């Protein structure tokens, strides 16, 4: 670096940053020497510049144009053309952005033909602005999301400004580029994102960061006393399960089907009637229904709440509070797992790894374990998401920690550890009870494949190796018959496994596999020889004998499905908050009716119990009365 240029750069960068003009102030001699070194255009000799005149700098822009066009082409192809695994598409998009940034930096610093002090100065300005924005946006966008949004926008506008400002003098172009860089990151810092939809390429809402969130509006309503509280005191007697109740995630045996419901399926003649609707704190938990009580999870600012509501009115009866908060820029705030009711007790597993055992009638805390702290489990990207499951005298949750602390069991009566077992490091699924050769087991889907566990001892019985290479898996395995498991995820597609004894051990046989049905975080149901569920954002039916897809349709987004077994009808809660009633027809998509139920992104599972439909998302909850099937009575 020439001596005068070094002195000028040192002087500019030690002034204190009072203004951008000071930061980029370069004397005429510096401009002349830089241009003499770089040249205005390829093959041209440097021009002499009269004293007192600023030489025009003509950057080489075409490499940057090619980079930006290549990136946006890459983005469109990955997210709108190719039918890729969502998480893989997201990672490939991020890798494309990082590769573009690296090449962009190489072009700017080494081949852009602008004065050296400007090359380094603008690079440092962009790096500082991006870093500060990521830090400032941790609680509104998430630092990674801020960078993911800002970097492509910055590079595109950077290149665009150099293209459109070609007739301006270099000092004017320099000032404009300063404004572009600062404005991009200032804009990003002022934004709040309310998460993304299931495909991860579309936001559910972008707002100014100073506008209140739905959660803040809900908390303000609670402060004002606008949220109705039941005048019924918590009962002291032990609650018991009865026919038609919905005790936990996906109902009895976690199968996603209700066997005690017969409803009117002509929704034009007998549409569901809304009984109540109320705001609620964010959570992706579903609901539990025991008699006239309803239980769910929600986030309230810095507190995680387990709440008991009156099922008939939606009014709050009691709430148990933990000082805990989870939030991420893609899915948002709140608990992920659904509570579990078992023999008068309510078990909850929060997004930060707190396992509670509560008296379901009163909300009294019986025991508590901080699973994450005790096992040193790393906080998953989207929080601890498994729902608790009780098998025998233990309650089981997933932690994914090292030292055989992947799957953990605690005594239901005392909360004392019962056993721990190794698992993969990444899973957003829950342990699934099933039976093989008459032996009760637990199956866990994780990033290594599927593992079978003895629920009494935690001993590993068998494994099905299917490494995910970091891709998250969410959907629940589904038992089809004794020893037969239907397992699905985006990367695996759908696979039918047959588990049976072999001597003193077990063997796993893969009956078939298909990529024609790829459940992401959307669970499926089965009836007879047909599975109904989501192939990413499209609903479809699959033949369980062969794995062949029977039909595909129904653009319900990344929703959830519930089977009403007596009538072979499906209740779909779409990602947009609509409830759609379908016939379980293996030949075609047959829609029986639909109603608008909720506003906004909806990933939570619907529940039908005692003639009512309960739905919720991260902002509101509603109950609908379902007319009984003709001849069923009220």
What confidence score (pLDDT) does residue 94 get? 84
Token duo for residue 253: 């045996």
Q: Quote the CA–CA distance of 203 and 329 in Å, as a whole number.
A: 10
Q: Quote the CA–CA distance of 577 and 557 in Å, as a whole number.
A: 10
What confidence score (pLDDT) does residue 85 get? 65
Contact by Cβ (8 Å): 455, 441: yes
**Domain map of the chain by residue range?**
3-189, 214-625
**Helix, strand or coil for residue 537?**
coil
DSSP state letter for 307: E
- What residues contact 414, with CB distance under 8 A and at least 6 apart? 367
Q: pTM of the entire structure?
A: 0.86
Crossing angle of helices 116-136/3-13, nearest 10°? 20
Has domain 214-625 been given CATH number 2.60.40.1240?
no
Q: Quote the CA–CA distance of 446 and 468 in Å, as a whole number.
A: 8
Cβ of 4: how many Cβ atoms within 10 Å? 13
Token duo for residue 225: 């006393």
Rounded to 5 degrees, φ, ψ at 87 are: -65, -35
What is the edge-to-edge ordering of all strands in the sheet holding 417-421? 389-391, 394-398, 407-411, 417-421
Cβ of 275: how many Cβ atoms within 10 Å? 16
What confidence score (pLDDT) does residue 53 get? 37
Query: Where does residue 332 rank: exposed (0-12), middle (13-18), buried (19+ CB within 10 A)?
Result: buried
What confidence score (pLDDT) does residue 203 get? 67
- What residues contact 575, with CB distance under 8 A and at least 6 apart? 197, 198, 537, 556, 557, 558, 559, 601, 602, 603
Contact by Cβ (8 Å): 146, 129: no
What confidence score (pLDDT) does residue 13 get? 36
Of 510, 532, 530, the C-alpha closest to 522 is: 532
Task: Give, in degrees to the nearest 5, the angle at Cα 389 between 386 and 390.
Answer: 160
The three-state (H, E, C) secondary structure of 124-163, written as one string:
HHHHHHHHHHHHHCCCCCCHHHHHHHHHHHHHHHHHHHHH
- What residues contact 226, with CB distance under 8 A and at least 6 apart? none
- The label of the residue with tokens 């075409």 reads 62
Q: Quote the CA–CA distance of 62 and 67 in Å, as a whole number.
A: 9
Dihedral (Cα; 490, 495, 500, 504), 10-degree rounding: -50
What confidence score (pLDDT) does residue 78 get? 81
The three-state (H, E, C) secondary structure of 161-198, written as one string:
HHHHCCCCCHHHHHHHHHHHHHHHHHHHHCEEECCECC
Q: Quote the CA–CA distance of 128 and 141 in Å, as a whole number.
A: 18
- What residues contact 370, with CB distance under 8 A and at least 6 apart? 353, 354, 355
- Give the CA radius of gyration of the chain: 29
Report, as ranges of residue numbers, the positions in the chain whose pLDDT lies below 50. 1-54, 634
Q: Quote the CA–CA distance of 457 and 472 in Å, as a whole number.
A: 27
Q: How far is the first Cα of the chain from the last one, in angstroms, to the nearest whole number?
A: 88
Task: Give, in degrees to the nearest 5, the angle at Cα 519 between 515 and 525.
Answer: 110
Q: Quote the CA–CA distance of 330 and 499 in Å, as a whole number.
A: 37
Contact by Cβ (8 Å): 531, 494: yes
What confidence score (pLDDT) does residue 201 get? 64
DSSP element (H, E) containing 86: helix 86-110
Contact by Cβ (8 Å): 443, 450: yes
Would you say how long the chain is, in residues? Answer: 634
Chain-centre distance for alpha carbon 294? 25
Contact by Cβ (8 Å): 451, 425: no
- What residues contact 392, with CB distance under 8 A and at least 6 apart? 455, 456
Rounded to 5 degrees, φ, ψ at 262 are: -140, 110
Dihedral (Cα; 469, 470, 475, 479), 10-degree rounding: 40
- The label of the residue with tokens 């969410």 reads 474
Of 284, 286, 290, 283, the C-alpha closest to 247 is: 290
- What residues contact 4, with CB distance under 8 A and at least 6 apart? 27, 29, 30, 33
Cβ of 253: how many Cβ atoms within 10 Å? 16
Contact by Cβ (8 Å): 450, 404: no
Token duo for residue 411: 């005594």
């Amino acid at each position: 670096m020439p001596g005068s240029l070094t002195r000028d750069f040192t002087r500019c960068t030690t002034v204190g940053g009072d203004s951008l003009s000071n930061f980029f102030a370069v004397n005429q001699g510096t401009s002349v020497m830089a241009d003499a070194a770089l040249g205005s255009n390829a093959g041209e000799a440097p021009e002499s510049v009269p004293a007192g005149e600023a030489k025009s700098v003509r950057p080489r822009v075409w490499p940057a144009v090619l980079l930006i066009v290549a990136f946006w082409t890459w983005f469109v192809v990955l997210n709108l053309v190719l039918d890729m695994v969502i998480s893989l598409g997201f990672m490939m998009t991020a890798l494309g952005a990082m590769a573009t940034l690296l090449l962009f930096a190489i072009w700017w610093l080494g081949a852009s033909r602008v004065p050296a002090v400007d090359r380094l100065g603008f690079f440092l300005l962009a790096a500082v602005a991006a870093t500060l924005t990521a830090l400032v946006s941790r609680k509104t966008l998430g630092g990674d999301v801020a960078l993911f949004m800002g970097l492509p926008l910055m590079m595109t506008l950077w290149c665009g400004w150099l293209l459109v400002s070609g007739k301006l003098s270099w000092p004017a172009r320099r000032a404009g580029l300063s404004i572009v860089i600062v404005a991009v990151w200032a804009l990003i810092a002022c934004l709040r994102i309310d998460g993304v939809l299931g495909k991860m390429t579309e936001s559910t809402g972008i707002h100014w960061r100073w506008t209140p969130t739905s959660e803040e509006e809900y908390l303000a309503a609670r402060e004002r006393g606008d949220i109705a509280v039941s005048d019924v005191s918590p009962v002291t007697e032990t609650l018991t399960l009865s026919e038609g109740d919905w005790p936990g995630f996906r109902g009895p045996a976690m199968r996603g089907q209700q066997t005690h419901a017969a409803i009117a399926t002509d929704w034009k003649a007998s549409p569901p009637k809304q009984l109540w609707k109320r705001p609620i704190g964010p959570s992706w938990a579903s609901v539990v229904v025991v008699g006239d009580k309803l239980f769910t999870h929600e986030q309230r600012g810095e507190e995680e709440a387990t709440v008991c509501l009156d099922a008939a009115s939606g009014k709050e009866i009691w709430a148990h509070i933990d000082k805990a908060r989870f939030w991420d820029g893609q899915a948002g705030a709140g608990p992920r797992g659904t509570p579990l009711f078992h023999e008068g007790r309510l078990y909850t597993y929060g997004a930060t790894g707190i396992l509670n055992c509560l008296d379901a009638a009163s909300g009294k805390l019986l025991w508590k374990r901080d699973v994450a702290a005790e096992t040193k489990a790393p906080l998953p990207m989207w929080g601890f998401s498994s729902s608790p499951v009780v098998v025998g005298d233990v309650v089981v949750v997933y932690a994914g920690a090292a030292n055989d602390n992947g799957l953990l069991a605690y005594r239901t009566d005392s909360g004392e550890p019962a056993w721990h077992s190794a698992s993969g490091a990444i899973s957003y699924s829950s342990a699934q009870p099933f039976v093989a050769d008459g032996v009760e087991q637990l199956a866990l889907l994780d990033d290594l494949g599927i593992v079978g566990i003895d629920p009494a001892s935690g001993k590993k019985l068998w494994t099905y190796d299917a490494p995910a290479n970091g891709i998250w898996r969410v959907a629940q395995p589904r038992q089809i018959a004794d020893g037969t498991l239907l397992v699905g995820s985006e990367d695996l597609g759908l696979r039918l496994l047959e588990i049976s004894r072999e001597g003193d051990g077990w063997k796993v046989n893969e009956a078939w596999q298909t990529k024609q049905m790829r459940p992401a975080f959307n669970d499926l149901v089965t009836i007879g020889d047909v599975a109904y569920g989501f192939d990413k954002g499209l609903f479809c039916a699959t033949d369980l004998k062969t794995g062949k897809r029977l039909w595909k349709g129904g653009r319900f987004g990344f929703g959830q499905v519930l089977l009403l077994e007596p009538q072979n009808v499906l209740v779909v809660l779409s990602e947009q908050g609509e409830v759609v009633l379908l016939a379980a027809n293996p030949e075609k998509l047959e829609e029986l009716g639909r109603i608008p139920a909720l506003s906004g992104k909806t990933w939570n599972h619907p529940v039908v119990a005692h003639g009512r439909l309960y739905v919720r998302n991260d902002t509101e909850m509603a109950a609908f009365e379902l007319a009984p099937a003709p001849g069923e009575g009220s």
